[in-house]
Amino acid sequence: MSFAAAAIQMCSGVDPERNAASMARLVREAAVKGATYVQTPEMTGMLQRNRAAAKEVLRDESNDIIVKTGSALAAELGIFMHVGSTAIALDDGKMANRGFLFGPDGKILNRYDKIHMFDVDLDNGESWRESAAYRPGSEARVLSLPFAEMGFTICYDVRFPQLFRAQAVAGAEVMTVPAAFTKQTGEAHWEILLRARAIENGVFVIAAAQAGLHEDGRETFGHSMIIDPWGKVLASAGPTGEAVILAEIDPAAVKAAHDKIPNLKNGREFSIERIAGEISGGAAA
């Protein structure tokens, strides 16, 4: 069964209520265009580099405005509504970078906490320590939906192919990669990583992104994308500004890709040995 998928590109600011209103407007636009599955970017609810200020406005899951709005939109529009992620306050003082998938009745079908923390120092002077504020997840899931088997990742997870492979082996036909990629890393790697994950696993990849210059001063890469199992970009957005992109997702294309390149079946266990490459005495033969 094919379905119409939409990726929502946003430029979230520091006010969760304003971001929730933007999300609702864009999701309704996607539904009017025929989308039955809609994905928003990583950190839909707020991009705020000042963590003390962020914690003042964050709420737990039951009181979070993005969660409430996502649930209400799913029920109102009769769609599968995927909040790519938003920051959720936890009991231990840390936060979760958590994604939610809501069914057409507004109920939560799946939660996913970002597993890999973005702890990097970039050569343009940007330094990020996601693990200082966020508690990483430890569980990946493949969710059976009426139209496809869906796997879940968030942003930096895209650099860990083993996460995608494990979900593909478990049956995932569509992998989701909501993101807030930095401009520098996005220019270098965003499209190549997304297409690689699609090709090497023979799956669709849907990646809604943050885009442009944000209120907190960071700049994200944009270029939201939907990619097919052969690595073809079916839809893409620009580098800045809001956007709604759509593509038809046909899970039969996953089987076709696996039939052509059956690398999931052909994978083999192997051992690895580290050896010294020293040459002792004499000339090389």
What is d(CA 226, CA 194) in angstroms, rounded to the nearest whole number?
9
**DSSP for residue 229:** T
Token reading at 45:
């609810």
**Active-site residue (options: 11, 42, 173, 219):** 42
pTM for the predicted model, two decimal places: 0.94
Task: Based on the residue annotation, tell me whether 173 is a catalytic residue of this protein.
Answer: no
**Active-site residue (options: 114, 149, 173, 183):** 114
Q: Spell out the residues 6+ positions from residue 249 whose beta carbon is closer than 8 angstroms to its own.
A: 2, 3, 4, 5, 37, 147, 148, 174, 204, 206, 226
Looking at residue 125, what is its pLDDT?
A: 63
Token reading at 177:
């990669």
Task: Based on the residue annotation, tell me whether 11 is a catalytic residue of this protein.
Answer: no
**Active-site residue (options: 11, 149, 155, 219):** 155
Looking at residue 285, what is its pLDDT?
A: 46
Looking at residue 132, what is its pLDDT?
A: 81
Task: Based on the residue annotation, tell me whether 42 is a catalytic residue of this protein.
Answer: yes
Looking at residue 278, what is its pLDDT?
A: 76
Q: Are 195 and 233 in contact (CB under 8 A)?
A: yes
Looking at residue 119, what is its pLDDT?
A: 74
What is d(CA 220, CA 11) in angstroms, rounded to the nearest whole number?
8
Looking at residue 93, what is its pLDDT?
A: 84
Q: Spell out the residues 6+ positions from residue 14 whose beta carbon is closer than 8 angstroms to its own.
A: 46, 47, 48, 53, 54, 215, 216
User: Digits of tens for pLDDT over the chain (285 positions)?
Assistant: 899 999 999 999 999 999 999 999 999 999 999 999 999 999 999 998 888 888 889 999 999 999 999 999 999 999 999 999 999 999 888 899 999 999 999 999 999 999 998 877 767 666 667 878 899 999 999 999 999 999 999 999 999 999 999 999 999 999 999 999 999 999 999 999 999 999 999 999 999 999 999 999 999 999 999 999 999 999 999 999 999 999 999 999 999 999 999 999 999 999 999 998 877 665 554
Quick check: helix, strand or coil at residue 246?
A: strand
Looking at residue 126, what is its pLDDT?
A: 65
